[in-house]
Amino acid sequence: MFNIVIFGKPGSGKGTQAKFLKEKYSLYHISTGDLFRKNIRNQTKLGIEAKSFLDNGDLVPDFVTIKMLENEVLLNNQVKGYIFDGFPRTLHQAESLDTFLSSINLKINATIALDVNENELITRLIDRGKTTNRSDDQDIEKIKNRFNEYNTKTSILVNFYNKQGIYFSVDGKGSVNDITLRLFGLVDSLI
pLDDT of residue 23: 95
Domain residues of the chain, as ranges?
4-190
Mean pLDDT confidence for 116-125: 89
Q: pLDDT tens digit string along 137-186?
A: 778 888 888 888 888 888 789 999 999 999 999 999 999 999 999 999 99
Mean pLDDT across the stretch 51-74?
88
> What pLDDT is stored for residue 111 in this prediction?
96
| Per-residue model confidence as pLDDT tens digits over 13-32 | 998 999 999 999 999 999 98
pTM assigned to the model: 0.87
Residues 6+ away with beta carbon under 8 Å from 162: none
- What letters, b where the CB count within 10 A reaches 16 and e where it falls short, cover 95-108? ebbbebbeeeebeb
Whether domain 4-190 has CATH 3.40.50.300: yes
For the cut 90, the answer to whether the pLDDT of residue 95 exceeds it is: yes
pLDDT score for 170:
96
Tell me, what's the pLDDT at 186?
97
Most confident of 32-41, 123-132, 180-189: 180-189
Mean of the per-residue pLDDT values for the chain?
Answer: 91
pLDDT of residue 97: 96
C-alpha of 85 from chain center: 2
